[in-house]
Amino acid sequence: MGLGVPIIVPVSKPSKGAAGKTGLWRVERPVVNEDKCIKCWLCWLYCPEDVISEGDNGFPKIDYTFCKGCGVCADVCPTKAIQMVREEE
Amino acid sequence: MGPEGTWEIITGNHAAAIAAKLARVKVVPAYPITPQTTIVEYIASFIDSGQMEAEYIRVESEHSAMAAAIGASAAGVRAFTATASQGLLLMSEVLHWAAGSRLPIGMAVVNRAVGPPWNIHVDHQDAMSQRDTGWLQVYVSSNQEVLDTILMMYKVAENPDVLLPFMVCLDGFVLSHTYMPVNIPRQEDVAEFLPEYSPSHWKLDPNDPITFGNLALPDEYQEMRWSMDLSMRRALDLIEDVSEEFFQKFGRYHGGATWKYKVEDSDYVIVTAGTMASEAEVAVDELRDEGMRVGLLKVRSFRPFPHRDMAEVLQDRRGVVVIDRSIAFSSGGPLGIEIRSSLYNRSGSPPIANYVTGLGGRDVTYRDIVAMAKDGIGRIMSDRLRRPYYWFKLKPEYERIELSEEVRM
């Protein structure tokens, strides 16, 4: 066997969306009601996918390309400012 | 050429520990289990007395032992551990992780029966049941072969075309606790033969972070499995090359993927592995004294499986007698199954009589092997080979049931 064997290793560099566009998995999307938000940033702290950041207007902004819609942010929000909304609606 | 090391009278387990020392392994995660325990005890004493420089990690289970070995190998150093039986089975999940991560970890597996019922004696079912984990597996028949094979297999496993972990399998008690003369090669000669491990495929480095074992979906997974399979087949050639190189340097040759004994003019060939193969050499001489042209093909490498050697040696013989020390329930002996697959699509493929025996340490002497060979040859010559496999050395009251017409295959 003189071809050389391609060793395909299951190794990847950390990168944004290493597992693909996981937003496609979502059934419900979190929507922020800025009237109720007190900017405590618990949603940012708890988000397991690191898709919440500070938007231009100073409120939490969700990256829907990668948000899987797990609902943890809505669950931890102390003022119920985040609602989970069915994707088709 | 020729052995320039020192001679010592030692056990198979002592030989395995000395091999790990000579290979300059850097990390040894250790968890005791009979009949392996003295391997990691010897290594502990080597480190304690300053004869060996390695990190010795006392882990809480075999699962953790292999996980620690993966971490060490991923960090770019040579890792070694040893286990047996239930311990190997507890490791099973992590065995797949080691192979899939392409880490050339070395392990001595002291073959022992699997429970229940508890039994500490030789049986190949522990390792053979792990045949699809992606580990290279070599079965040996002497304490010298234990030591030499561990050194050779690091060289095979670390080859940039292979990068898979390996286990060297030695029969519990028959080798692990039996004293034999062993030539211990000089450290400087081993260092020339087996340089430091320096991985180029990947390595954990805090300054260049990566993740490993991440998600690979249907678009990527299959090629990773193919790559492992291709590396395994490539290892088959390398086992031959490295065995030859070892012979040139140390003057000892135990065979490559197989070891052949008096096969050239044989009408019938016995195939087996481990210490049953050294008994089989004596059986071959006995059978030849009685005028039967019989030879022995010892399977050293079970993974990769040497299909080509099987075909070359066994094709056009009058018959083959395969002796297994493991049972694939309702299917046969693992060697018998594989050898049929080597020969089935070829013209001139001989009839195969497969025997399952010696389980849980039941003694298999050269006399038993003579008896199996005669039974198999008799069945082949008189057209009575009706079953895919036969049990040998059952107690008579059970053998009557086993051989009755009502028992179907």
Domain parsing of chain B, residue ranges: 6-250, 258-402
| Average pLDDT taken over every residue of chain A | 92
- What distance lies between CA B11 and its chain's CA centroid? 18
Count Cα neighbours of B23 within 13 Å in the Cβ-side half-sphere. 32
Q: Do A10 and B216 touch (CB under 8 A)?
A: yes
Q: Do A11 and B163 touch (CB under 8 A)?
A: no
Please give the Cα distance from B157 to B190 (Å, whole number).
16
Contact B104, B80 (CB under 8 A): no
Q: Given CB atoms, is B345 within the 8 Å cutoff of chain A?
A: no
Closest by Cβ to B230, choosing from A5, A18, A20: A5
Min Cα separation B226/chain A (Å): 9
* pLDDT at A45 (0 to 100): 98
Please state which CATH number belongs to domain A22-86.
3.30.70.20
Residues of chain B short of pLDDT 70, as ranges, are 1-3
Of B240, B384, B242, B404, which is closest to residue B312 (Cα–Cα)?
B240
Closest by Cβ to B237, choosing from A1, A10, A14: A1
Closest by Cβ to A5, choosing from B209, B217, B234: B234
Residue B170 burial by Cβ neighbours in a 10 Å radius (0-12, 13-18, 19+): buried
Architecture category of domain B6-250 in CATH: 3-Layer(aba) Sandwich (3.40)
Q: Indicate if the alpha-carbon torsion angle B173, B256, B25, B109 is positive or negative.
A: negative
pLDDT band at A3 (very low <50, low <70, confident <90, very high): low
Q: Given CB atoms, is B381 within the 8 Å cutoff of chain A?
A: no
Contact B130, B190 (CB under 8 A): no
- State whether residue B29 is helix, strand or coil: strand
Q: Which two tokens stand for residue B233?
A: 């087949």
Contact B169, B138 (CB under 8 A): yes
Please give the Cα distance from B20 to B99 (Å, whole number).
20
pLDDT band at A2 (very low <50, low <70, confident <90, very high): low
Min Cα separation B217/chain A (Å): 9
Please give the Cα distance from B248 to B1 (Å, whole number).
6
Sequence ranges of the domains in chain A: 22-86
**What residues of B are in contact with residue A19 (Cβ under 8 Å)?**
214-215
Of B364, B354, B373, which is closest to residue B288 (Cα–Cα)?
B373
User: What number is the average pLDDT over the span A58-87?
Assistant: 97
Q: Which two tokens stand for residue B21?
A: 């020392």
Closest by Cβ to B215, choosing from A11, A13, A19: A19
Domain B258-402 falls in which CATH fold?
A: Rossmann fold (3.40.50)
- State whether residue A71 is helix, strand or coil: coil
Q: Which two tokens stand for residue B375?
A: 């039974």
Q: Given CB atoms, is A19 within the 8 Å cutoff of chain B?
A: yes
* pLDDT at B215 (0 to 100): 83
**What residues of A are in contact with residue B227 (Cβ under 8 Å)?**
5-8
pLDDT band at A20 (very low <50, low <70, confident <90, very high): confident
Q: Count Cβ–Cβ pairs < 8 Å, chain A vs chain B.
A: 56
* pLDDT at B212 (0 to 100): 87
* pLDDT at A28 (0 to 100): 97
Min Cα separation A51/chain B (Å): 19
* pLDDT at B214 (0 to 100): 82
Predicted interface score ipTM higher than 0.85:
no
